[in-house]
Chains A and B, each alone.
Chain A
Amino acid sequence: MTGLRAENLTLAYDRRIVVEGLTLALPAGRVTAILGPNGCGKSTLLKALARLIRPQAGRVTLDGEDIHALPTRAVARRLGLLPQAPIAPEGITVGDLVARGRAPWRGLLAGWSAADEAARAAALAATGLTDLAARPVADLSGGQRQRVWIALALAQQTEHLLLDEPTTWLDLPHQIEVLALLRRLNREQGRSIVTVLHDLSLAARFADHLVLMAAGRVLAEGTPEEVLTPGALEDAFGLRALVIADPVTGTPLVVPA
């Protein structure tokens, strides 16, 4: 029972049920993309996986333990979350923002340790930001800024990394840059990555495992080839589309009909 699992999960805001009876095992050491139409509950599911919302029924387990039975900081040392719209404090530099990812590892009165510095340096290097460490975050481009947030999550040194639409608002080259970075982090550092994405073909290109959701349920999961079929796209999005092999990578490419 290793890794992150959702067992018979029901999630609701007030009385409005968003996700009902969902069971899902996220493969350890892989890149998983959660797909689905707007309002299908994918962001809500991600928040529940990150322990931000308490389920109405069912549970989320991390290596077999109920995530709500674990202390907040202990979870934050094993599982990082990059939400959709984090706020960069005014005037903060790249290095200072990335340093805040060390929060779950620092004691109340403990200073900045050698381990903290090593983690920050590694996070900056992995995201190609070492030379920008002294720059204010506000001066950076959208793609660079997104890399700063990913670096913050890396400095947290968690084995699981959850991201909510990390490519929204980015132009295509920057979307590819961010997704390539996530896959590289997975391959080189062995981190399990779960990300909510909108672009189906990019998801097929960069993720090992896809989860297709609709109306609070999992419609299909598996490899990109197994999940992205014309029938599943029709069911999930009401979209009539052809699925052909991507001429560059051979992964499924969705072409709306």
Chain B
Amino acid sequence: MSRGLSLLAAALLLACLLGLAVGEVLLGPADLWRGLLTGEGPGGFTLRVLRGPRVATGALAGAALGMSGAIFQSVLRNPLAAPDVMGFTAGAGLGALAVAGFGAGAGLSVTLGAAAGGAGAAVAVALLALTREGLVPLRLVLVGIGAGFTLTALTGFAMTRLPGPEAMEAQRWLSGSLAARTWGHAGQIALTALPLALLTAALVPALALLEMGDDLAAGLGLRVQRARAGLAALGVALAAAAVAVAGPVPFIALMAGPLARGALRRAGTAGPGAVLAGAALTGATIAVLADLAARAAVPGVQLPLGVMTGILGAPCLLWLLTREMERGGL
């Protein structure tokens, strides 16, 4: 493992320890250590029931979002490409809400609803953006932004049809929240995201070729369209898996890739495999820290995770936009 990835992994570990220790009940290092090792003492309950599943779910969902964003940024060769910017997470949110609204409850059906919504949004965006020259990345991003607004509006409409209490709960979930997560949620995201991450790892050589342009990649023996479709499908599925357990948390997918690239480059080279792994680590770190900030920022008030990532992510989006405009990418 490279030095850059080790640093990012250390940052994640630190974020997780902070996330476990800090909250309404502050755990000292001794209590935290004892709780982690034995599950007993004042830290035991907090870790086992309150914060453990929350941090684990947040880290895994953040990792899935970070990897998803990095996939789209590489495949489309555009740092603004991410499932949240392009409306895929909004689609997944609408899909999950539709399933939950029909009273089918939580778990697998919500995951499938999120996956169907995300995939539906991705296909719709791809079809709308399709031109004679095929899929042009910038056009795809812009159409996706429009689709995201439409899907968010549809979600807002669906909310007005729900009864009051359920609408409140749905609103909380739709802004992206890790409140009251159980080990069931953590297990669900682990079981869905890990196989997807392994499949993505198998496609890293294809990603390395795609980065150099379609013609060169094809000349080096890659089936370009098939590889791109496979990677995009994995990116949508990873985002949907995260949305199913944490709601459509904005901006993590957008931020993780560029931040990971920056950190990795400062520490040496950054191949596509390292960037994907780094984006997963960074996404997990952002999710855990943002959730911690959302819990601890205002005493006595638990803000949803998505509010915090929105506050962090909006300046990051502006920074990426200005950088792209200076480079002439827009």
Residues of A within 8 A of B (CB): 13-14, 47, 50-52, 72-73, 75-77, 79-93, 96, 100-101, 103-104, 106, 108, 156
* Set of chain B residues within 8 Å of A47, measured between Cβ atoms: 215
Please tell me which one of the listed residues B212, B213, B269 contacts residue A93 in the complex, with CB atoms under 8 A apart: B269
Cβ of B63 < 8 Å from any Cβ of A?
no
Interface residues of B in 267-312 (CB under 8 A from A): 269-272
Known: A47-B215, A100-B209. 6 other contacts (CB 8 A): A50-B218, A72-B223, A77-B221, A81-B215, A86-B216, A106-B205
Q: How far does the Cβ of B83 sit from chain A's closest Cβ, in whole Å? A: 22
Q: Are B215 and A100 in contact (CB under 8 A)?
A: no
Q: Are B219 and A50 in contact (CB under 8 A)?
A: yes
Q: Are A100 and B132 in contact (CB under 8 A)?
A: no
Given that A50-B219, A80-B219 are known contacts, is A89 also in contact with B212, CB under 8 Å in the complex? Answer: yes
Shortest Cβ-Cβ A-B pairs, 4 listed: A76-B221, A81-B219, A83-B215, A104-B221
Q: Contact mask B184-227 → A, CB, 8 Å, 1/0? A: 00000000000000000010010011011101101111110000
Bound complex: CA of A81 vs CA of B209, how far in Å? 13
Q: Are B269 and A86 in contact (CB under 8 A)?
A: no
Q: Are B220 and A156 in contact (CB under 8 A)?
A: yes
Q: How far does the Cβ of A210 sit from chain B's closest Cβ, in whole Å? A: 24
Q: Are B77 and A100 in contact (CB under 8 A)?
A: no
Q: Are A86 and B205 in contact (CB under 8 A)?
A: no
Bound complex: CA of A87 vs CA of B210, how far in Å? 9
Q: Are B212 and A91 in contact (CB under 8 A)?
A: no
Bound complex: CA of A114 vs CA of B202, how far in Å? 22
Residues of B within 8 A of A (CB): 77, 132, 202, 205, 208-209, 211-213, 215-216, 218-223, 261, 265, 269-272
* Set of chain B residues within 8 Å of A82, measured between Cβ atoms: 216, 219
Q: Are A90 and B216 in contact (CB under 8 A)?
A: no
Given that A72-B223, A86-B216 are known contacts, is A103 also in contact with B209, CB under 8 Å in the complex? Answer: yes
Q: Are A72 and B221 in contact (CB under 8 A)?
A: yes
Bound complex: CA of A108 vs CA of B222, how far in Å? 12
* Set of chain B residues within 8 Å of A93, measured between Cβ atoms: 269
Q: How far does the Cβ of B263 sit from chain A's closest Cβ, in whole Å? A: 12
* Set of chain B residues within 8 Å of A50, measured between Cβ atoms: 218-219
Chain A, Cβ-Cβ closest to B270: A91
Chain A, Cβ-Cβ closest to B209: A103
Q: Are B213 and A85 in contact (CB under 8 A)?
A: yes
Please tell me which one of the listed residues B215, B270, B271, B272 contacts residue A52 in the complex, with CB atoms under 8 A apart: B215
Q: Are B220 and A87 in contact (CB under 8 A)?
A: no
Q: How far does the Cβ of B101 sit from chain A's closest Cβ, in whole Å? A: 43
* Set of chain B residues within 8 Å of A76, measured between Cβ atoms: 219-221
Q: Are A86 and B221 in contact (CB under 8 A)?
A: no
Interface centre among B205, B221, B222, B271 (most CB of A within 10 A): B221
Bound complex: CA of A92 vs CA of B211, how far in Å? 11
Q: Are B222 and A72 in contact (CB under 8 A)?
A: yes
Given that A93-B269, A96-B269, A96-B271 are known contacts, is A87 also in contact with B219, CB under 8 Å in the complex? Answer: no
* Set of chain A residues within 8 Å of B269, measured between Cβ atoms: 91-93, 96
Q: Are A108 and B205 in contact (CB under 8 A)?
A: yes
Bound complex: CA of A59 vs CA of B158, how far in Å? 55
Chain B, Cβ-Cβ closest to A105: B221
Bound complex: CA of A73 vs CA of B221, how far in Å? 4
Interface centre among B208, B216, B265, B269 (most CB of A within 10 A): B216
Chain B, Cβ-Cβ closest to A84: B215
Q: Are B222 and A90 in contact (CB under 8 A)?
A: no
Bound complex: CA of A81 vs CA of B202, how far in Å? 25
Q: Are A87 and B213 in contact (CB under 8 A)?
A: yes
* Set of chain A residues within 8 Å of B222, measured between Cβ atoms: 72, 103
Q: Are A86 and B220 in contact (CB under 8 A)?
A: no
Q: Are A103 and B265 in contact (CB under 8 A)?
A: no
* Set of chain A residues within 8 Å of B261, measured between Cβ atoms: 90
Q: Are A52 and B265 in contact (CB under 8 A)?
A: no
Q: How far does the Cβ of A246 sit from chain B's closest Cβ, in whole Å? A: 33
Interface centre among A89, A101, A106 (most CB of B within 10 A): A89
Q: How far does the Cβ of B257 sit from chain A's closest Cβ, in whole Å? A: 12
Chain B, Cβ-Cβ closest to A50: B219
Bound complex: CA of A88 vs CA of B208, how far in Å? 11
Q: How far does the Cβ of A133 sit from chain B's closest Cβ, in whole Å? A: 13
Q: Are B270 and A90 in contact (CB under 8 A)?
A: yes
Q: Are A101 and B215 in contact (CB under 8 A)?
A: no
Provide 9 A-B residue pairs closer than 8 Å at the C-beta atoms, listed in order of the A residue: A72-B218, A76-B219, A79-B219, A82-B216, A87-B77, A92-B271, A100-B209, A103-B205, A106-B205
Q: How far does the Cβ of B187 sit from chain A's closest Cβ, in whole Å? A: 29
Q: Are B221 and A83 in contact (CB under 8 A)?
A: no
Q: Are B221 and A75 in contact (CB under 8 A)?
A: yes
Bound complex: CA of A47 vs CA of B214, how far in Å? 12
Bound complex: CA of A72 vs CA of B225, how far in Å? 13
Bound complex: CA of A73 vs CA of B269, how far in Å? 28
Please tell me which one of the listed residues A90, A91, A92, A100 contacts residue B220 in the complex, with CB atoms under 8 A apart: A100
